């Protein structure tokens, strides 16, 4: 059985996260966690945590924050084909795909691929009133201040990725470029729903939520997915509405951006986004050195520990070395949240995950 020796703490998790967003000195870096089910189960077993005890794992790793959401209570809106799983808030379908280390739910079918105007107009979108916000408040209260709490997530608004799961990536990008009225009207309905749900959640849980998490996949490994011009015309105004909502509640916002995304960061700073997440160091202009030199002190950074590199394919010693190097660069400008770039993959050796989090506690002290 493994044991992670955590760094001495003089702050609560909530205080640590709030001060990190403000670029103030903390006792140690904040710690985040995302993992696929297979490695999550093996990690819990290695740490002596029961399979259903997420909070026990958070305590063992020293994780500082968790999300708050309201359960959906509305009618069933979507009917997936046989053998498919449906996202009840999005209407996208997925199928289970086995692989050597486990499996995953892969998006498929794309119900609005090739859709005409009438299909876009008819496709349902949830009502922001159909959620149990009182239950979300009770969940927030139940943590008793043990964690910093966030609302939202990497799928909010995630214009490109979330809509592509419904209509396919090629259709999605074509609709954006061409300005297709019916498709854009459908995207706007989804934006209004997400904004409404987020606002009701922030209002109900006022005083408990500490930051807002947003998302948008903007880059491949080697280049932007779209032009800066198209981002400014079609996506940035939507991001501004979400960042503005967070600011209206006095909360910082952080946005998940996959791949080579730093080309959009100046625009994100302009509209009031406070931090960026994922930060795949192998992508173009996404290394810790580049990000810290270009945006340090103006954006919080979360991630930079690649799930596609040493963590999956190196040794524990390789992982420790990479984590120390990243910490040494990112901690100088403060505002750094230690975390994997994405969900830790099922092919990752458990000893590498242990090494990653031990490195944070050993070397992430201010």
Distance CA 281, CA 238 (A): 27
Q: Which of 350, 359, 337, 190 is nearest to 278 (CA)?
A: 337
**How many domains in the chain?**
1
Instruction: Determine the Cα–Cα distance for residues 200 and 192; give it in Å rounded to an integer.
Output: 12
Mean pLDDT of 256-269: 97
CA-closest candidate to residue 279, choices 47, 296, 90: 296
Position 80 in a domain: no
Q: What is the pTM of this model?
A: 0.97
Q: What percent of the chain has pLDDT over 70?
A: 100
Distance (Å, whole) CA 271 – CA 51: 41
Answer for the pair 230, 271: CB distance below 8 angstroms, yes or no.
no
Alpha-carbon gap, residue 226 to 92, rounded angstroms: 23
Is there a domain that residue 6 lies in? no
Per-residue confidence band for 290, with pLDDT thresholds at 50, 70 and 90? very high
**pLDDT value, residue 1:** 83
The yes-or-no verdict on residue 10 having pLDDT over 90 is yes
Residue 224 lies in a domain: yes
Give the residue-averaged pLDDT of 183-192. Answer: 98
The model's confidence at residue 93, banded by pLDDT at 50, 70 and 90, is very high
355-364 pLDDT, tens digit each:
999 999 999 9
User: Residue 89 falls within a domain, yes or no?
Assistant: no
Please answer whether residues 50 and 358 qualify as being in contact, where contact means their C-beta atoms are separated by less than 8 angstroms: no
Percent of the residues in the chain that have a pLDDT greater than 90, as a whole number: 98
Cα(325)–Cα(235) distance, integer angstroms: 34
Q: Is residue 337 part of a domain?
A: yes
Q: What is the pLDDT of residue 103?
A: 87
Examine residue 52 and state whether it is found in any structural domain, yes or no.
yes
29-44 pLDDT per residue, tens: 999 999 999 999 999 9
Distance CA 32, CA 188 (A): 32
As given in the structure block, the two tokens for residue 126 are 């949830």
- Is there a cis peptide before residue 200, judged by omega within 30 degrees of 0? no
The mean pLDDT of 306-318, rounded to a whole number, is 97
- Cis upstream peptide for 157 (omega within 30°): yes
Whether 4 is covered by a domain: the verdict is no
CATH of the domain at 267: 3.20.20.210
Cα gap 166→143, rounded to integer Å: 35
Average pLDDT over residues 130-143: 98
14 and 148 Cβ atoms separated by less than 8 Å: yes
The per-residue pLDDT of the chain, averaged, comes to 97
Looking at the predicted structure, is the pLDDT value of residue 234 above 90? yes
Q: For residue 106, is it within any domain? A: no
Average pLDDT over residues 301-312: 97
Range of the domain at 63: 13-75+115-363
């Amino acid at each position: 059985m493994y044991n992670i020796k955590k760094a001495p703490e003089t702050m609560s998790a909530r205080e640590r996260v709030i001060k990190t967003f403000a670029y103030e000195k903390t006792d140690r870096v904040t710690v985040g966690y995302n993992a696929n089910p297979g490695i999550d189960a093996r990690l819990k077993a290695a740490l002596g945590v029961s399979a259903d005890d997420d909070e026990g794992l958070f305590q063992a790793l020293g994780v500082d924050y968790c999300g708050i959401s309201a359960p959906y209570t509305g009618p069933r809106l979507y009917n997936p084909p046989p053998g498919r799983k449906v996202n009840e808030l999005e209407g996208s379908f997925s199928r289970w795909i086995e692989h050597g280390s486990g499996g995953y739910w892969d998006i498929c079918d794309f119900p609005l691929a090739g859709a005409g105007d009438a299909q876009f107009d008819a496709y349902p979108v949830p009502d922001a009133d159909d959620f149990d916000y009182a239950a979300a408040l009770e969940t927030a209260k139940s943590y008793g201040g043990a964690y910093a709490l966030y609302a939202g997530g990497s799928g909010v608004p995630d214009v490109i990725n979330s809509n592509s799961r419904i209509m396919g990536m090629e259709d999605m990008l074509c609709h954006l470029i061409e300005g297709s009225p019916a498709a854009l009207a459908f995207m706007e309905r989804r934006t209004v729903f997400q904004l409404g749900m987020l606002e009701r959640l922030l209002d109900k849980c006022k005083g408990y939520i500490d930051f807002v998490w947003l998302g948008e996949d903007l880059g491949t490994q080697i280049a932007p997915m779209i032009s800066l011009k198209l981002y400014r015309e079609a996506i940035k105004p939507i991001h501004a509405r979400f960042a503005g909502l967070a600011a209206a509640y006095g909360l910082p916002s952080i946005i998940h951006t996959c791949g080579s995304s730093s080309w959009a960061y100046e625009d994100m700073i302009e509209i009031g986004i406070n931090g960026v997440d994922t930060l795949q160091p192998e992508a173009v202009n996404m290394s810790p050195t580049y990000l810290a030199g270009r945006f340090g002190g103006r954006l919080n950074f979360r991630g930079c520990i690649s799930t596609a590199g040493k963590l999956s394919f190196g040794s524990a010693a390789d992982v420790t070395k990479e984590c120390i190097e990243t910490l040494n660069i990112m901690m100088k400008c403060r505002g750094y949240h230690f975390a994997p770039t994405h969900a830790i993959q099922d092919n990752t050796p458990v000893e590498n995950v242990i090494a990653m989090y031990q490195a944070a506690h050993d070397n992430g002290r201010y």
